[in-house]
Amino acid sequence: MLIAIPDVLDAAALARVRAVIDGAEWVDGNVTSGPQSALAKRNHQLPEDSAAAREAGGLILDALGRSPLFVAAALPLKVFPPLFNRYQGGEDFGLHVDNAIRIKRGTDFRIRSDLSATLFLDDPTTYDGGELVIEDQFGPQVVKLPAGHMILYPASSLHRVTPVTRGTRTASFFWLQSMIRDDGERRTLFELDRAVQAVAADRGQGDSTVVQLTGVYHNLLRRWADA
Whether 142 and 59 share a structural domain: yes
Checking if the pLDDT of 189 tops 80, the result is yes
Question: pLDDT class for 136, splitting at 50, 70, 90?
Answer: confident
pTM (two decimals): 0.93
Q: Which residues of 116-141 are buried (b: 16+ CB within 10 A; e: fewer)?
A: bbbbbbbebeebebbbbbbeeeeeeb
Q: Is 28 annotated as a binding residue?
A: no
63 falls in which pLDDT band (50, 70, 90)? very high
Question: Does the annotation place 159 within a ligand binding site?
Answer: yes
pLDDT in tens, 28-57: 987 655 555 556 789 999 999 999 999 999
Q: Is 66 annotated as a binding residue?
A: no
Asked if residue 78 and residue 40 are part of one domain, the reply reads: yes
- pLDDT at position 158 over 70: yes
Q: Helices 11-22 and 51-65: crossing angle, nearest 10°? A: 160
One domain for residues 93 and 198: no
Residue 186 is assigned to a ligand binding site = no
The CA angle 9-83-98, to the nearest 5 degrees, is 115
What is the pLDDT of the chain when averaged over all its residues?
94
Range of the domain at 191: 183-224
CATH of the domain at 107: 2.60.120.620
